[in-house]
Chain A
Amino acid sequence: MTAIFKRELKSYFTSSIGYIYLGITLLISGWFFVANNLYYAISDMSYFFANLTFIFIFLVPMLTMRLFTEEVKNKTDQLLLTSPVTVTQIVIGKYFSASALFGLTLFITMAYPAVMFLYGDPLIYSILGHYLGFFLLGSSLIAIGVFVSASTESQITAAIISFVVMLFIWLTDWIASTITNEIFKKVIEWLSVLKRYQEFTTGILSLSSVVYFISFASVFIFLTVQTIEKKRWS
């Protein structure tokens, strides 16, 4: 598992994709920070993260699209699946590598609140909540991307499908608001990852939300494992 994790992480940077991802994320987030926080001289990072969430609809597919499609294309999946590792270990290794790169970028953006702490006194728990929530949200989206990558044949298909799925997730709250059936509405609201994420932004660490995100990612990792296993049995 660690071997796969290390190789994947490294391969983000031996191909251009890691640099493109890092570059785009940091450039856009930097601009959001300037536009939302520095320009208006406010320490609340809600707008910053709200904007960043939207950008991640595009960025997550970039991280995950090649994870499994490339293996199948180069037939390297034969190497992985005939090695003494389980499919679960392969999937988790890959998932962690994408999450690690995502976490790394997020870590770099911590420079922005650091700047604010130099000149003011922002609400630290709210900012930490934002970061933790955003990391969990992103990791859940990555799990979806990993699943899509294992279910499709080419990188482009994987990217497009992941993008559409992310878009729907982004729209869940809006969709929920248009539904009149109370029960149905409740169900959709409960499923909404963005609603859960909002809880963190108030600076409250809610255990149920943490569990929710971890379960969310686990379900998709489980589905990914099943998809790969199914290919071998068909």
Chain B
Amino acid sequence: MIEIVNLTKRYGKKKAVDNVSFKVEKGEILGFLGPNGAGKTTTMNIITGYLSCTEGKVVVDGLDVLKHPEEVKRKIGYLPEQPPLYMDMTVIDYLDFVYDLKKIKLPNRSEHIAGIMETVRISDVSHRLIKNLSKGYKQRVGLAQALLGNPEILILDEPTVGLDPKQINEIRNVIKELGRERTIILSSHILPEVSAICERVIIINNGRLVASDTPENLSKNLSNSTDFTVRIEGENEKVNQVLNTIEGIEFISSKKVEDNIFDYFIKTYESDIRREVFFALAEHKMPILLLKTQNLSLEDVFLKLTTVEEAGEEVEKTLTEEAPSEDANTDANTDTEMTAKEGTDNDSDI
């Protein structure tokens, strides 16, 4: 349905999107993840034809966006990061205007608009001025605008931002419902949201595609480690002594849970040592209360992927340490700067 081929967008020297390629099948809900400034919004803006790309192409339903902009735009409903609302219009006037603007030709105009307002639950504010609405309502008017004309493709840039938990749930259900017959690309910061709604996830970092898979596969593939957390009853020092006798442990960190009960995070050299740990502790009469392997959540996957390649650059940084950090003229420098910060963040986490 949507095919993105070697997409690159340059702003001066900086590459906002760097050689990104992916495909979205018909009826798929695709999650689009990435830290701030990764190029999510830029990519979405290019797909919708708001911006043009420097290189590469976007093909929607067999049509190149640049060559057939009008046909492609008819197929896409777009909710940008900030909903494009005219503050001096009422909700109903606004939707009426968008209906005309998008050149929608449906037999039952007013029913169609009313139906959409019902779907996103804004019927009760239809005659109020948009500028007087709360952020949640504005967001929903924005979503209503994207849904007008039943476009085959929906592109939603952080659709649940600014909504309260109940509304978030409602909107998620709406999106899931819509995803049955439509192709949806959805960007989000909220990772549980993506794993709840999306069938496939794309992670983008520094303008580059770093992963593309189902949320389940992503966490499975990246959590092949044999690290685990174990809760043990016993004096911290003694337990540590016992654990240290076991081979294959890279390091241990402990956290107090109750008196004499500690959680130990055990990082291993990629060998499964759960049995050894069990017998060693049993020998010393130290009961294991809990043992869980380190299953990466999507959140961990995300952090891992978006910091992985920077670890490599960190080495570079130590090699060229004299590079002044203020001099952010080149991309390389800004990258290492970021690495340095992120690197320290990670350390403190551990």
- Cβ of A82: which chain B residues have Cβ within 8 Å of it? 48-50, 73, 76, 78
Contact A80 B48 (CB under 8 A): no
- Cβ of B145: which chain A residues have Cβ within 8 Å of it? 79
A82-B48, A82-B73, A86-B70 are contacts. A75–B84 as well, Cβ < 8 Å? yes
Q: Residue-by-residue, is B45-57 near A (CB-CB < 8 Å gives 1, otherwise 0)?
A: 1001111100000
Name A's interface SS: helix
Q: Which of A1-9, A31-39, A105-113, A211-219 contacts B (4 or more CB under 8 A)?
A: A1-9
Does A85 reach chain B (CB closer than 8 Å)? yes
Give the total of A residues in contact with B, Cβ under 8 Å.
Answer: 24
List residues of B (204-237) whose CB comes within 8 Å of A's CBs.
none
Q: How many inter-chain contacts with C-beta < 8 Å in the A-B complex?
A: 69
Pick from A15, A77, A83, A233: contact of B101, CB under 8 Å? A83
Contact A3 B86 (CB under 8 A): no
List residues of A (6-58) whose CB comes within 8 Å of B's CBs.
6-7, 11, 14-15
- Cβ of B83: which chain A residues have Cβ within 8 Å of it? 75
Name the distance in Å between B85's Cβ and chain A's nearest Cβ: 7
Does A177 reach chain B (CB closer than 8 Å)? no
Contact B97 A3 (CB under 8 A): yes
Contact B85 A78 (CB under 8 A): no
Contact B73 A83 (CB under 8 A): yes
Q: Residue-by-residue, is B84-100 near A (CB-CB < 8 Å gives 1, otherwise 0)?
A: 11111100000001101
Q: Which residue of A lies closest to B51 (CB)?
A: A232
Pick from B11, B74, B88: contact of A11, CB under 8 Å? B88
- Cβ of A4: which chain B residues have Cβ within 8 Å of it? 101
Contact A74 B84 (CB under 8 A): yes
Contact A78 B78 (CB under 8 A): yes
Name the distance in Å between A88's Cβ and chain B's nearest Cβ: 12
Contact B84 A78 (CB under 8 A): yes
Does B244 reach chain A (CB closer than 8 Å)? no
Does A206 reach chain B (CB closer than 8 Å)? no
Does B275 reach chain A (CB closer than 8 Å)? no
Q: Which residue of B lies closest to A79 (CB)?
A: B84
- Cβ of A86: which chain B residues have Cβ within 8 Å of it? 69-70
List residues of B (34-54) whose CB comes within 8 Å of A's CBs.
45, 48-52
Contact B101 A76 (CB under 8 A): no
A2-B100, A7-B97, A75-B82 are contacts. A81–B88 as well, Cβ < 8 Å? no
Contact B78 A232 (CB under 8 A): no
| 20 pairs from A and B in contact (CB 8 Å cutoff) | A4-B101, A7-B97, A14-B88, A74-B87, A78-B50, A78-B80, A78-B84, A80-B101, A82-B49, A82-B76, A83-B98, A83-B101, A83-B103, A84-B69, A84-B71, A84-B74, A84-B102, A86-B70, A232-B51, A234-B11
A-B pairs, 10 with minimum CB distance: A3-B100, A79-B84, A76-B84, A84-B73, A84-B70, A82-B48, A14-B88, A3-B101, A78-B80, A75-B82
